[in-house]
Structures are given as structure tokens and as C-alpha cells.
């Protein structure tokens, strides 16, 4: 297996797949039938997919989500998005150089009539919000169609290998996202009134309130009575030198490659952004055997959950707060990253630049709602609601809860006899959406001659599965608020280790002070591949913040079923350290070499619009000239007229206006126009184009891979 494929993973198991041969630039390579072409190429070590026709800039994967066209390659001579095109045997692939030519052979002369379906509710997006809504709609007998552009349901849940926060009863806390996806999908399928259309992309909402969709490469039309927009979010881009080099992409794209396709796209990774998305992506990278060179965050503290941050710190990942990226460096693709400290004026401090070798830079600087259909529906007076990130960026737990609420509301609107969602649901939804609270810090208290849990969980976040799982009910949150900090009642612990196994933050240890002598037994959760830890070996243990406490012996490694692929590791720890032990250092030493290279940020040649290769300077000139209309910037520079339709550059343009001190009220936003993604013209003439959907090959999360082996 190529070095670029993930063979060992603590949570995921590579499914059986059929190897097929294909060619890239005439070179014969092997991939798997049905996997996305982009993943087959990454697995073969190919990262540059072509060169931009305007300036020859190397192009690679960017969104991995079918939205941006940056990954376009030629398959059998025709331009296709590599991330959305399934690999077939004998596929001839070429990089896209210049503008594509059309294959001379027409695809098919056969034309099908364009079908129009009428439905009560059309749900756009089969992620956590859309599925939760569909369940409530189905339960109330509402004729519903759920569409999703991927080949399986779950949205971004299928990329989430970690256990979820929140509460068990409201949003599946303690269960891994990939499993929640499967459970929700199974529940949706029970309802005959709910149809699921996979491989279906909504293209446009028209003034006659019909929605045009591309379903399995066929153009179809749906006329809904109500629309639920559960289309999720897209990642924000960032302006810096080299920001369009292959190897710079979003955390979502990365998780798609790693967790869905089980490709290892990187050997050395740097993460920009310390929110939950960046912190979790870095953890997933470590689990996939990728070295995380560092993570930088512009604020003085990471914005994500402290438990996520602590997990990384304990793995030895350097976290640079108050730092920003200055540049991605490399000729054809990323070779290194330069960061700098931000001063009190939030500008990079001269002389603080540091350059780290890295082949991949993940941008995780926030999300923006995908809400085009929401706005269009409001404009065209189609009854519409949004749920999940399309409505408000928050955790998936909140998305599921809001989905249920919206589902019930729509059922009521459509005349179903169902009561309104209980008022406390709205309160719960608000709690689930709440930002992490103050970091309160640890308060460790030993209970002599006893066994008890220790909570390395010093920050208020909406999460309580530990209180639910304890069979003796001896873990409580004072006041019962989901956001409160858990504590041990002081008696009753039977040492079952279930709380240790379940905690989504990997932040509970079990300390056993019953044995006499100098050492205590501490049980820790461990989420790296099994071969990374052995009974009898000596490991370095760390405290909550990642500081080294000392070296201790591994007594036992278990993988009980209830731990759901996590390992439970028992250590023999000197009694005085037992309460502080929070993690085991297992990350390989991170390369920290400082290259003596001082780079000035070159602002005006940074690319704002990656599709049309428009540099910031061209836009700044117009703003300086008094232009305040996005549409004029578009007309003159073409920024926003490319394949992604301005999805990527709009926030960057807004930022340029802000930087130049323009009041946003003076600025006219760009006119929103169909289509959401590019579609072959023939589709609208009833000609099926393309080669069928990406097959359902990826992550099948094997049920019991560890049992018997330990």
C-alpha cells in the first residue's frame, strides 16, 4: 500500500475495495474503483492537478466538496472535478493546462424528458440538521424529499471520528459522528413518506418556486410547498502570500481526504486557526499518523473547547497563540509556512517571523453559512426555514436539535396536527449553541484509599454524558446545567471506567489509590493506533497542559466494547503525580527547525479571487478610486466571476473594504445569480452527462476490530 494511504487507524478500518489501474500523464497507477479521482491522485503522491490558464499558477485541491472547481483534471479528455468524479478502470487522467477543449464525441444523443416532482417539503442537505428535520417530518407524515450531493447521508458527520459533546438524550453525546450519521440515516429510512435523493445537487431556485436539481447526472425539477435549507457551511478563506498554492486548503477538505477516503495527504501539517474545527482536524491528523508541525491562532487563546486544545498539547503539538500566517512558501506546492507574532495592534511584529517545514497548511479560520437558497426563497416567497450551520454556525449537536425543531414547525405549517416544539427545546438549543465559557482551571482532590474519577475538564461547555453513563450516578453537575463542570460525589465509584471511555473530550482519568505502596493505578483513554502502545513499556506522561510529569510503566491496554475503539490504558504512577496525569506523549518529536528567512508580507500580489487569479492590489486600486459596488469590482477585475461563483472571495473582498476603512453600509453586495455549481449544458436538454456517482466505498467503521486481539 502506498505511503499516502492510511493503513492503520485507531477508529477507522479501511473497507474492502477493488483495485483498478488508471493513468496520470500516461504513467500507470493504481487506485480503488469508485473512489474520487482526487483521492486516487493524492494516494499516488500527486498534489498538483494543473496550471491556471491566466498565469500558470499550480492548481490543487481546495474544497474537496464539489464547490470550487480548483481540482479540475481531464478524464478521458473531458474536464471534471476530481473530487466529485469516481475512478473507473483504465481511466486516462491528465492535468488541466490552459482552457479545456470539449471532447468531439457528443456524450449521447438520447434525451429524457425533464421530470417535475411535487412534494410538501424539500430538505436541502442530508447532514445532522437535515436528517433530524426529516425524521420529524416523516413522523408527522409530511411528504418529504431529502437531497444531498454526496453518495451517502450524514453530511460532515461522516468525517467526524470523535465522540460528540452535548447530552446523550438530546443529541447523541458520547457517540462518534460517523455513527450518529448512520443512526440518523437509518431512522430516516423508516419513513415511507421521506424519499432520499443522493448524488443530487440543488442548482437554483427559480421565481416560479421550482427548484432545479442535478440528480445522478439528470436534470430534474421539484416544486415544494416548503423548503428547509440545511446546506451547512463553507470554510472561510484567508489572504496571505502563497494562499493558492496546492497544499493550502480547508480543514473540511482535509477531513474528507483522511476520514472519508483514508488517504494520507500530508506528512507534515500546519494548522491555521484554533477553533474547534482546527483543533479537531489537527487531532484527526495525529490519529492518521500525520505529524502536526504546529497550530497558530491569532487570538491570545484558542477559541475552541479547551479539552480539544489540551488533547493536542498533550500530544506535543506546539500551539502558537497570538500568531498569524504570513506566507505559504514553495514553487509548485507548499514546502514551508512562515508565521509571525501579532503585536497589540494586531499587526505582525517585525523580527518574530518563523518558518517551519510543512507540506500542507490547513485553513480553519471559521465558517460561513451556505444560505443562498434561504435568501432566494425569501425573495420568491416560498415558505422556508433554515437549520444547522446554514442558519447559524454552531456545533453539530445544536444542528441536530434545531433540525428537529424546524421539522416540527414545518409539519405544523403544512397543517399537521402536532403541538409546537416544547419551549424547553429552544432553551436546550441555545445551550448547545453556546460558546465555551470561562476556563476555570483544575481543582484536584485526592481521596485516600479509594478509586475515583478525575476530571481534567476545567471549562464550561455544553456536555454531560459522564453524568448519564455512571451506573452508580455518582458524577453530577451542580445545578444540573449542561454547561456546568462535572464532579464526583465523593463516594460510590466502582471503577467501571465507563466515564473514562465515553468522555468526548478524552479528559477523564480514573485514579486508584487503593493499592498500598508508592504507586497508584491511573486509567487513561488513548486514541492512537493500537501498535503505538504496549503493555510493559515505559511512557512519558503529561499534565493537562502538556507539561512533562515523568516516565511511567504501562500495566495494561484494553479495548472494551463500550469504549468504542478507544483504548483504555492503565499506568503505574507515583502517588503524588496520580491526579495530575492527563495524557501520554506519543507524538513524534515535531520538527521545530527555524529557517533563517525573513519574509515581508507582500500584500498587493496576494490572490483574492483564486478562480480568476485577481490580486488584492487590483481590487485595492478600485476601492481607492471610490468604487463601492461589488458588481463593479466584478465587472472590471472579474473577481467573483469564476467557477466558484464568488463563494470563496466574497468574504475576502469584504475584508479589503474593511481594511481600507470603508463603512460596510456604503458597499453594494454582489447580485446573487444561478447556478450554485457549474453543470453541463446538455443536462438541461435532458442528456445525462458524467460517469455516475462516486461509489459508497469509504469509511465503514468496522464493528469490533480490536476484540480478541488484546
Partner 1 sequence: MSAKSYDVVIAGAGSVGLPAAYHLAARGVKTLVIDPLPSPGQGSNKAAIGGVRATHSKPSKIRLCLDSIAELSSWRERHGREIEWFAGGYVFVAYHEDDRRELLELLEVQQSHGLDIGWLERDELIERVPHLSAEGLLGGTYAPSDGSASPLLTARAYYEEAVRLGAEFHFGERITAIIRRHGRVVGVRTERGGYATATILNAAGAWGQAVARMAGLDVPVTPDSHEAGITEPLAPLFDPMVVDIRPGEGVKNSYFYQRREGQILFCLTPDPPFLGTDRRETSGFLPRIADRMVDRVPILSRAKVRRTWRGLYPMTPDGSPIIGAVEELPGYLQAVGMCGQGYMLGPGVGQLIARLVSGALSDHDHEVLKDLSANRDFTSAEALG
Distance of closest approach, residue 678 Cβ to partner 1, in angstroms: 4
Distance of closest approach, residue 612 Cβ to partner 1, in angstroms: 10
Distance of closest approach, residue 211 Cβ to partner 1, in angstroms: 9
49 close to 246: Cβ distance less than 8 angstroms: yes
Q: Please state, in angstroms and rounded to a whole number, the distance separating the CA atoms of residues 695 and 46.
A: 22
Query: Using the rule CB under 8 A, is 435 a contact of partner 1?
Result: no
Looking at the Cβ atoms of 210 and 456, the one nearer to partner 1 is 210
One residue of 48, 94, 198, 204 binding partner 1 per CB under 8 A:
204
Q: From 57-65, 93-101, 150-158, 308-316, give the range in contact with partner 1 by CB under 8 A.
A: 93-101
Distance of closest approach, residue 301 Cβ to partner 1, in angstroms: 40
| Run of H or E residues at 51 | strand 50-51
Query: Using the rule CB under 8 A, is 673 a contact of partner 1?
Result: yes
Name the grid cell of 18.
477493488
Residue 169's CB is within 10 A of a number of other CB atoms, namely 11
Looking at the Cβ atoms of 645 and 697, the one nearer to partner 1 is 645
One residue of 216, 636, 692, 700 binding partner 1 per CB under 8 A:
636
One residue of 5, 8, 13, 100 binding partner 1 per CB under 8 A:
100
Query: Using the rule CB under 8 A, is 679 a contact of partner 1?
Result: yes
Looking at the Cβ atoms of 602 and 667, the one nearer to partner 1 is 667
Query: Using the rule CB under 8 A, is 627 a contact of partner 1?
Result: yes
Sign of CA dihedral 148, 152, 158, 164: positive
Query: Using the rule CB under 8 A, is 1 a contact of partner 1?
Result: no
Query: Using the rule CB under 8 A, is 114 a contact of partner 1?
Result: yes
One residue of 446, 632, 654, 705 binding partner 1 per CB under 8 A:
632
One residue of 25, 89, 102, 547 binding partner 1 per CB under 8 A:
102
Name the grid cell of 1.
500500500
Query: Using the rule CB under 8 A, is 212 a contact of partner 1?
Result: yes
Looking at the Cβ atoms of 425 and 684, the one nearer to partner 1 is 684
Query: Using the rule CB under 8 A, is 109 a contact of partner 1?
Result: yes
Q: From 139-147, 266-274, 573-581, 671-679, give the range in contact with partner 1 by CB under 8 A.
A: 671-679
Q: From 182-190, 329-337, 344-352, 638-646, give the range in contact with partner 1 by CB under 8 A.
A: 638-646
321 close to 274: Cβ distance less than 8 angstroms: yes
Residues in 220-259 that interact with partner 1 by CB under 8 A: 221
One residue of 442, 643, 662, 705 binding partner 1 per CB under 8 A:
643
Distance of closest approach, residue 677 Cβ to partner 1, in angstroms: 9
The β-bridge partners of 121 are: 144, 226
Residue 556's CB is within 10 A of a number of other CB atoms, namely 14
Distance of closest approach, residue 636 Cβ to partner 1, in angstroms: 5
Distance of closest approach, residue 616 Cβ to partner 1, in angstroms: 19
The CA-atom distances, in angstroms, between 589 and each of 362, 378, 569, 619 are: 20, 53, 22, 43
Pairing of strands 336-341, 354-357: antiparallel
Query: Using the rule CB under 8 A, is 168 a contact of partner 1?
Result: no
Distance of closest approach, residue 635 Cβ to partner 1, in angstroms: 4
Residue 495 sits at the vertex; the CA angle it makes with 491 and 501, to the nearest 5 degrees, is: 120
Distance of closest approach, residue 220 Cβ to partner 1, in angstroms: 11
3-state secondary structure of 334: coil
Q: From 316-324, 488-496, 549-557, 676-684, give the range in contact with partner 1 by CB under 8 A.
A: 676-684
Q: How many residues bind partner 1 (CB under 8 A)?
A: 54
Long-range contacts of 674-681, Cβ-Cβ distance < 8 Å, separation of 24 or more: 674/203, 674/204, 674/206, 674/212, 675/203, 675/204, 675/212, 675/645, 676/201, 676/202, 676/203, 676/204, 676/372, 676/645, 677/66, 677/67, 677/201, 677/203, 677/645, 678/69, 678/643, 679/203, 679/214, 679/219
- Binding-residue pattern over the window 44 to 73 for partner 1, x denoting contact by CB under 8 A: ---------x---------------x----
Q: Please state, in angstroms and rounded to a whole number, the distance separating the CA atoms of residues 366 and 189.
A: 33
Residue 540 sits at the vertex; the CA angle it makes with 277 and 442, to the nearest 5 degrees, is: 60
Query: Using the rule CB under 8 A, is 681 a contact of partner 1?
Result: yes
b vs e for 238-263, b when ≥16 Cβ sit within 10 Å of the residue's Cβ? bbbbbbbbbbbbbbbbbbbbbbbbbb
One residue of 122, 687, 694, 699 binding partner 1 per CB under 8 A:
687
Distance of closest approach, residue 376 Cβ to partner 1, in angstroms: 9
Picking from 259, 277, 237, the residue whose alpha carbon sits closest to that of residue 6 is 259
Name the grid cell of 163.
465522540
- What is the rounded radius of gyration, in angstroms, for the C-alpha atoms of the chain? 26
Q: Please state, in angstroms and rounded to a whole number, the distance separating the CA atoms of residues 638 and 31.
A: 37
3-state secondary structure of 577: helix
Q: How far is CA 379 from the centre of its chain?
A: 31
Q: Say if residue 142 is exposed, middle or buried (CB neighbours under 10 Å; 0-12, 13-18, 19+).
A: buried
Distance of closest approach, residue 92 Cβ to partner 1, in angstroms: 16
Looking at the Cβ atoms of 196 and 688, the one nearer to partner 1 is 688
Query: Using the rule CB under 8 A, is 147 a contact of partner 1?
Result: no
What does 91-124 look like in DSSP terms, one character per residue? Answer: -EEEEEESSPPPPSS-S-S------EEEEEEEEE
One residue of 629, 691, 700, 705 binding partner 1 per CB under 8 A:
629
Looking at the Cβ atoms of 45 and 98, the one nearer to partner 1 is 98
414 close to 383: Cβ distance less than 8 angstroms: no
One residue of 357, 383, 680, 692 binding partner 1 per CB under 8 A:
680
Distance of closest approach, residue 487 Cβ to partner 1, in angstroms: 57
One residue of 46, 285, 524, 683 binding partner 1 per CB under 8 A:
683
Q: From 237-245, 405-413, 441-449, 627-635, give the range in contact with partner 1 by CB under 8 A.
A: 627-635
Query: Using the rule CB under 8 A, is 378 a contact of partner 1?
Result: no
Query: Using the rule CB under 8 A, is 621 a contact of partner 1?
Result: no
Distance of closest approach, residue 253 Cβ to partner 1, in angstroms: 21
Query: Using the rule CB under 8 A, is 635 a contact of partner 1?
Result: yes
Looking at the Cβ atoms of 383 and 682, the one nearer to partner 1 is 682
Q: From 14-22, 153-161, 340-348, 624-632, give the range in contact with partner 1 by CB under 8 A.
A: 624-632
One residue of 7, 186, 538, 685 binding partner 1 per CB under 8 A:
685
One residue of 659, 668, 696, 702 binding partner 1 per CB under 8 A:
668
The CA-atom distances, in angstroms, between 328 and each of 171, 317, 334, 429, 617 are: 39, 20, 6, 39, 19
One residue of 76, 375, 380, 425 binding partner 1 per CB under 8 A:
380
One residue of 169, 379, 600, 696 binding partner 1 per CB under 8 A:
379
Picking from 516, 513, 470, the residue whose alpha carbon sits closest to that of residue 494 is 470
Which residues lie below 8 Å from residue 424, measured CB to CB, with a gap of 6+? Answer: none
Q: Please state, in angstroms and rounded to a whole number, the distance separating the CA atoms of residues 587 and 295.
A: 14
Q: Please state, in angstroms and rounded to a whole number, the distance separating the CA atoms of residues 317 and 546.
A: 9
- Contact residues toward partner 1 (CB under 8 A) are 53, 69, 78-79, 98-107, 109, 111, 114, 204, 206-208, 210, 212, 219, 221, 379-380, 627-629, 631-632, 634-636, 641, 643, 645, 668, 671, 673-675, 678-687, 689
Amino acid at each position: 500500500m502506498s505511503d499516502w494511504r492510511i493503513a492503520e487507524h485507531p477508529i477507522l478500518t479501511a473497507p474492502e475495495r477493488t483495485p483498478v489501474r488508471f493513468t496520470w500523464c500516461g504513467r500507470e497507477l493504481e487506485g480503488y474503483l469508485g473512489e474520487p479521482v482526487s483521492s486516487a491522485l493524492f494516494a499516488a503522491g500527486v498534489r498538483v492537478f494543473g496550471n491556471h490558464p491566466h498565469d500558470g499558477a499550480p492548481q490543487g485541491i481546495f474544497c474537496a466538496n464539489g464547490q470550487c472547481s480548483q481540482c479540475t483534471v481531464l478524464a478521458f479528455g473531458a474536464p471534471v472535478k476530481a473530487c466529485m468524479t469516481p475512478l473507473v478502470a483504465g481511466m486516462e487522467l491528465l492535468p488541466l493546462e490552459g482552457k479545456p477543449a470539449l471532447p468531439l464525441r457528443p456524450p449521447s444523443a438520447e434525451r429524457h424528458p425533464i421530470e417535475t416532482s411535487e412534494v410538501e417539503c424539500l430538505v436541502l442537505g442530508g447532514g445532522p440538521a437535515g436528517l433530524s428535520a426529516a425524521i420529524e417530518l416523516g413522523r408527522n407524515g409530511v411528504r418529504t424529499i431529502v437531497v444531498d450531493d454526496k453518495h451517502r447521508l450524514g453530511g460532515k458527520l461522516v468525517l467526524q471520528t470523535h465522540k460528540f459533546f452535548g447530552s446523550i438524550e438530546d443529541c447523541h453525546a458520547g457517540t462518534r459522528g460517523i455513527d450518529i450519521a448512520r443512526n440518523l440515516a437509518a431512522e430516516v429510512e423508516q419513513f415511507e413518506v421521506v424519499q432520499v435523493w443522493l448524488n443530487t445537487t440543488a442548482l437554483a431556485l427559480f421565481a416560479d418556486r421550482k427548484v432545479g436539481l442535478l440528480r445522478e447526472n439528470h436534470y430534474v425539477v421539484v416544486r415544494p410547498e416548503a423548503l428547509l435549507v440545511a446546506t451547512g457551511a463553507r470554510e472561510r478563506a484567508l489572504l496571505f502570500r502563497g494562499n493558492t498554492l496546492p497544499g493550502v486548503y480547508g480543514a473540511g477538505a482535509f477531513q474528507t481526504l483522511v476520514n472519508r477516503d483514508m488517504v494520507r495527504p500530508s506528512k507534515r501539517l500546519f494548522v491555521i486557526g484554533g477553533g474547534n474545527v482546527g483543533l479537531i482536524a489537527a487531532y484527526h491528523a495525529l490519529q492518521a499518523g500525520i505529524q502536526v508541525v504546529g497550530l497558530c491562532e491569532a487570538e491570545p487563546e484558542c477559541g475552541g473547547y479547551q479539552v480539544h486544545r489540551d488533547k493536542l498539547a498533550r500530544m506535543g503539538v506546539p500551539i502558537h497563540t497570538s500568531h498569524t500566517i504570513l506566507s505559504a512558501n514553495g514553487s509548485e506546492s507548499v514546502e514551508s509556512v512562515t508565521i509571525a507574532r501579532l503585536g497589540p495592534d494586531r499587526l505582525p511584529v517585525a523580527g518574530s517571523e518563523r518558518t517551519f517545514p510543512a507540506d500542507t497548511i490547513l485553513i480553519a479560520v471559521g465558517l460561513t453559512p451556505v444560505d443562498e437558497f434561504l435568501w432566494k426563497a425569501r425573495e420568491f416567497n416560498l415558505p422556508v426555514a433554515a437549520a444547522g450551520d446554514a442558519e447559524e454556525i454552531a456545533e453539530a449537536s445544536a444542528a441536530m436539535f434545531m433540525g428537529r425543531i424546524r421539522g416540527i414547525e414545518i409539519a405544523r405549517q403544512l397543517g399537521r396536527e402536532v403541538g409546537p416544539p416544547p419551549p424547553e427545546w429552544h432553551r436546550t438549543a441555545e445551550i448547545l449553541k453556546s460558546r465555551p465559557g470561562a476556563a476555570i482551571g483544575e481543582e484536584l482532590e485526592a481521596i485516600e484509599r479509594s478509586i475515583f474519577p478525575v476530571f481534567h475538564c476545567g471549562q464550561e461547555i455544553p456536555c454531560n454524558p459522564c453524568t448519564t453513563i455512571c451506573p452508580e450516578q455518582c458524577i453530577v453537575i451542580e445545578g444540573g446545567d449542561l454547561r456546568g463542570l462535572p464532579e464526583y460525589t465523593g463516594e460510590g465509584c466502582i471503577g467501571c471506567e465507563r466515564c473514562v471511555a465515553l468522555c468526548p473530550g478524552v479528559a477523564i482519568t480514573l485514579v486508584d489509590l487503593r493499592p498500598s505502596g508508592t504507586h497508584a493505578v491511573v486509567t487513561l483513554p488513548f486514541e492512537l493506533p493500537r501498535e503505538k502502545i504496549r503493555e510493559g513499556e515505559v511512557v512519558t506522561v503529561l499534565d493537562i497542559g502538556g507539561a512533562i510529569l515523568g516516565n511511567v510503566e504501562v500495566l495494561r491496554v484494553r479495548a472494551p466494547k463500550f469504549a468504542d475503539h478507544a483504548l483504555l490504558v492503565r499506568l503505574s504512577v507515583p502517588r503524588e503525580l496520580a491526579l495530575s496525569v492527563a495524557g501520554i506523549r506519543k507524538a513524534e518529536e515535531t520538527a521545530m527547525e527555524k529557517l533563517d528567512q525573513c519574509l515581508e508580507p507582500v500584500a498587493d500580489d496576494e490572490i483574492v479571487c483564486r478562480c480568476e487569479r485577481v490580486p488584492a492590489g487590483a481590487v485595492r486600486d478600485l476601492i481607492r478610486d471610490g468604487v463601492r459596488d461589488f458588481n463593479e469590482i466584478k465587472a472590471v477585475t472579474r473577481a467573483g466571476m469564476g467557477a466558484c461563483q464568488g463563494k470563496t472571495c466574497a468574504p475576502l473582498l469584504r475584508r479589503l473594504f474593511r481594511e481600507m476603512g470603508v463603512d460596510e453600509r456604503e458597499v453594494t453586495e454582489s447580485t446573487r445569480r444561478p447556478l450554485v455549481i457549474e453543470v453541463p449544458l446538455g443536462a438541461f436538454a435532458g442528456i445525462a452527462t458524467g460517469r455516475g456517482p462516486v461509489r459508497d466505498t469509504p469509511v465503514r467503521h468496522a464493528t469490533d476490530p480490536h476484540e480478541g486481539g488484546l
